[in-house]
Amino acid sequence: MKRLLRFVPLLILLIAAGVVYGTGVWHQLTWQSLAVHHEALQAAVASHRLLAPALFVLIYAAAVSLSLPVGLWLSLGGGVLFGGWFGGVLTVIGASIGALVIFMVARSALAPFFQAKFGGKINKLAPGMQAGLERDGFSYLLAVRLMPVVPFWLANLAPALLGMRLFPYAAATIIGLIPASLVLNAVGAGLASTLVPGQTPDATVLFHPIILFPCIGFTALALAPVIWRRVKSPRVAVTDPVVNVRH
Q: How many CB atoms lie within 10 A of CB 224?
A: 12
pTM of the predicted model as reported, rounded to 2 decimal places: 0.78
Please report, for the chain, the start and end positions of each structural domain, with discontinuous segments joined by +: 2-246
The neighbour count for residue 1, using CB atoms within 10 Å, is 4
pLDDT recorded at residue 236:
45
Altogether, the residues listed in the chain come to a count of 247
The predicted structure's pLDDT at residue 16: 94
Which candidate, 35, 28, 177, 165, places its Cα nearest to that of 94?
A: 177
Provide CB contacts within 8 A for 87, sequence distance 6+: 75, 78, 79, 80, 81, 185, 188, 189
pLDDT along the chain (247 residues), means of 10: 82 94 87 85 94 97 94 92 95 97 93 74 58 76 79 89 91 91 86 62 58 64 64 52 42
**pLDDT at position 208, please?**
60
Q: Quick one: pLDDT at residue 74?
A: 94
